[in-house]
Structures are given as structure tokens and as C-alpha cells.
Amino acid sequence: MKIAIGADHAGYRLKDVIVPMLKQLGHEVLDVGCDCADSVDYPDYAIPVCDMVVNGEAERGILICGTGIGMSIAANKTPGIRCALVHDLFSAKATREHNDTNVLAMGERVVGPGLAEEIVKVWLDTPFSQGERHLNRIRKVMGLEDKQALHP
Ligand code: RB5
């Protein structure tokens, strides 16, 4: 799978754990940075990752900041993105089955590297359930984007 990944200065260390794991699992990784502790702005990394997912360059995106919150807020502003902030395995599975999320956000200051690796694996491996009730709810959420485009 082609996976875009980005982090800010509070998340790049966890990114440096996740990127080699993804490559070892056979995924193609598009890493937009950042790569050091110099202070940066999380939207500058969330936006390119989400753009890659929306335009088809990447199938999924992974975003990491200190809490994962800023990244998830920024990601969910991009039309076509459904981003989940996940710090447990139950949610990693459920958000794929129920929400068909295409971007995963995590917080390096919240979750340890071992659990983060397992979260990523479960999130990547779990298919969307295709359940009609879930599709209907996703359609309602994504319909908000059309509404906002008509009445900005
Ligand atoms: C950076 O200090 C921190 O605010 C950022 O990584 C993130 O947690 C924001 O939501």
C-alpha cells in the first residue's frame, strides 16, 4: 500500500519508528517530514499528507504530533478526508470498520512506540465493513462538504 506520513517536531520520533516498520511490512512510504526537533506547525505536514490521499498519490495517511489532536483537526478540514485520532486497538479496528477512515492520527506524547506500531498494523489491515448503516452515516458526514461548498 502507498502510505503518506507526516509529523511535527513533537511527533517525528514516533514517525521514525513507524516509517521503518511500514517499509518492513512492504508498504511504499511517502514521508513529508519533519525530521528534527525544531518547532514547526502541524498543519504544514497534515495538509500535504491529506492532499496526497485525496488526489490518489497515497491510499492512506498517517499523522503524528504531540497529542494527535492538532493533526486530526487539520486533516478533517480537507474535503475527502476522514481522520481518526486513535490511541487504542479497539478504536483502530472500529474506525476502519465503521468510519472507513483514510487518515490515522496519533500523539507521540500519549502513546508508546510499541502500542503505536500495533495500532498502525490493525488500522491498515482492517477493511471497511461495507455495512449499509455505516455507509449511510458516512454519506451524511461527507454531504456536509457539499453543503459548505454551496454556502461557504
Ligand atoms: C506542539 O507543542 C503540540 O502543540 C502539537 O504537537 C500538537 O500536540 C497539537 O495538537
Query: Which CATH number fits the domain that encloses residue 71?
Result: 3.40.1400.10
Closest-lying ligand 1 atom to the alpha carbon of residue 8 = 6
Cell of 33: 517530514
* Residue whose CA is at the smallest distance from ligand 1 atom 5: 66
Q: Rounded to whole angstroms, what are the CA distances from 31 to 3, 12, 58, 110?
A: 8, 11, 11, 22
Is residue 147 scored above 90 in pLDDT?
no
For residue 149, the model assigns a pLDDT of: 79
What is the whole-number distance in angstroms between the Cα of residue 111 and the centre of ligand 1? Answer: 14
For residue 151, the model assigns a pLDDT of: 75
Q: pLDDT tens digits, residue range 58-108?
A: 999 999 999 999 999 999 999 999 999 999 999 999 999 999 999 999 999
Is residue 150 scored above 90 in pLDDT?
no
Annotated ligand binding at 137? The verdict is yes
Is residue 139 scored above 80 in pLDDT?
yes
As a whole number of angstroms, the distance between CA 83 and CA 71 comes to 9
Question: What is the extent of the structural domain holding 132?
Answer: 2-150
Annotated ligand binding at 131? The verdict is no
- Neighbouring-strand partners of residue 104: 62, 84
* Residue whose CA is at the smallest distance from ligand 1 atom 3: 66
Number of domains in the chain: 1
Closest-lying ligand 1 atom to the alpha carbon of residue 73 = 10
- Whether the CB-CB separation of 7 and 14 falls below 8 Å is answered with yes
State the average pLDDT over residues 39-44.
98
State the average pLDDT over residues 132-151.
91
Q: Rounded to whole angstroms, what are the CA distances from 20 to 13, 53, 65, 104?
A: 12, 20, 18, 17
Strands 83-85 and 103-107: parallel
Q: Which residues of 78-107 are buried (b: 16+ CB within 10 A; e: fewer)?
A: beebbbbbbbeeebbbbbbebbebbbbbbb
Annotated ligand binding at 119? The verdict is no
Tell whether pTM > 0.95: yes
State the average pLDDT over residues 124-137.
98
Cell of 107: 500523539
> In which band, very low, low, confident or very high, does the pLDDT at 148 lie, cut at 50, 70 and 90?
confident
User: Ligand 1: which of 12, 71, 72, 73 to mutate, judged by most atoms within 8 Å of the beta carbon?
Assistant: 71
What is the whole-number distance in angstroms between the Cα of residue 109 and the centre of ligand 1? Answer: 9
Q: Is 26 exposed, middle or buried (0-12, 13-18, 19+ CB in 10 A)?
A: exposed
Is residue 136 scored above 80 in pLDDT?
yes
